[in-house]
Amino acid sequence: MADDTRLPHEILLAIARGEAVGDHTPTLAERMTAAKIAAPFYAPRLASVVHEAVGSGQVAQRVEIVIVNPEEPSGPAGAADRTCL
């Protein structure tokens, strides 16, 4: 696999599909783990949009982008990096 030119998320997807890596065929547990790690590359979580009324009755829009690290637990202990625009 030294000459493999695939990107990391492409390799994870191949493992999730059960393709052999060298002479090793991934187990179901390995396939599930690879699928969980690869998922954010293919189906990112959608950001929430909050609408707020401002003094003149106009609606201000706030878009929150959340970058998720699949190796960290969700919730306050494993809080994601947040960028607000």
Confidence (pLDDT) at 37: 92
54 and 32 inside one domain: no
For residue 58, the SS3 value is strand
As for how many domains the chain has, the answer is: 2
Q: Which of 31, 41, 46, 40 is nearest to 6 (CA)?
A: 41
Q: pTM score, two decimals?
A: 0.49
54 and 80 inside one domain: yes
Q: Could you tell me the residue range of the domain that residue 69 belongs to?
A: 49-84
CB burial of 33-44 (b: ≥16 within 10 Å; e: otherwise) equals bbeebbbeeeee
- pLDDT tens across 26-75, in order? 999 999 999 999 998 888 777 777 766 666 666 667 888 887 777 766 55
